[in-house]
A = this chain, B = another copy of it.
Amino acid sequence: MRNIEVLFFDVLGTTVDWRGSITAEVGEFLKRHNLGRIDPARFADAWVGRYDASVDPIRAGKRSFVSLDQVNRENLVASLEEFGLSSASLPPEELEDLNLSWHRLKAWPDLGDGLSRLKSRFIVAPLSDGHARLLVNLSKFNNLPWDFIVGADMSQAYKPMPQVYLRACELLEVQPENAMLVAAHDYDLEAARRCGLTTAYIVRANAEDPSKVGNQKAQDGWDYKAKNLLELADMLQ
């Protein structure tokens, strides 16, 4: 193994169960508004399914950076319309609270113990399309013991743009070859590998991103492949 100093972790899907968490909050929201006829899992996938198309103009430099709160808010309104609902007919503060369900995504059960073990040897830090405040709120909600937090607002870029990975390494004064990305998505690992980072693939149920359909066959060839952070900690011991 190379001399790894820093482990970066993808968050949405890898660290937290976004699909399960969003579906649960959407379900409660729909029930409260007598919209039980709508399937919350389908609504959640529709909501996130708009993600890639929304972020692409930012990746391409055609739109200035806006945070995930803003992207999610726009896509929530569009998804409501897709399901025949008008956002104007719903209380704005309730829509805002639903949008903030992204700050309350639940961590996978291995996270606390896995991070505690890994942080005794490495610097552990999320590296996410989420912005700093979202990541701080998520971490407090789940009691995650990160050593440092890198949000998309700190590079003003979204994955898989190389500046995301390179800015994170620069902030922690680590050479890319001394850093590893831990993620449940191939496109993310591929981009990190192109920047020189070591890669660890974590197999997560429910982590597929509906905005990236057709690009989901798990690849091989990553430096590590583990079923969770505890297994990864064993491998890196």
Contact = CB atoms under 8 A, between A and B. Distances in A.
Interface of A: 119, 123, 131-133, 136, 139-140, 145, 147-149, 151, 153-154, 171-174
A171 B153 contact: yes
24 contacts: A119-B140, A123-B136, A123-B140, A131-B173, A132-B148, A132-B171, A132-B172, A132-B173, A133-B171, A133-B172, A133-B173, A133-B174, A136-B147, A136-B148, A136-B172, A139-B147, A140-B147, A145-B145, A148-B149, A149-B149, A151-B171, A153-B171, A154-B154, A154-B171
Copies of this protein in the complex: 2
A136 B173 CA distance: 11
Given A131-B173, A132-B171, A133-B173, 7 more contacts: A132-B148, A132-B172, A136-B147, A139-B147, A151-B171, A153-B171, A154-B171
Contacts of A145: 145
Nearest to A137: B123
Contacts of A136: 123, 147-148, 172
Nearest to A147: B136
Nearest to A125: B136
A162 to B, nearest CB: 20
Contacts of A133: 171-174
Nearest to A171: B132
Contacts of A139: 147
Which 9 A-B residue pairings sit nearest by Cβ, starting from the closest? A133-B173, A136-B148, A132-B171, A136-B147, A148-B149, A133-B172, A123-B136, A140-B147, A132-B172
A132 B125 CA distance: 12
A149 B172 CA distance: 11
Contacts of A149: 148-149
A64 to B, nearest CB: 15
A136 B174 CA distance: 12
A143 B139 CA distance: 17
A216 to B, nearest CB: 33
Contacts of A154: 154, 171
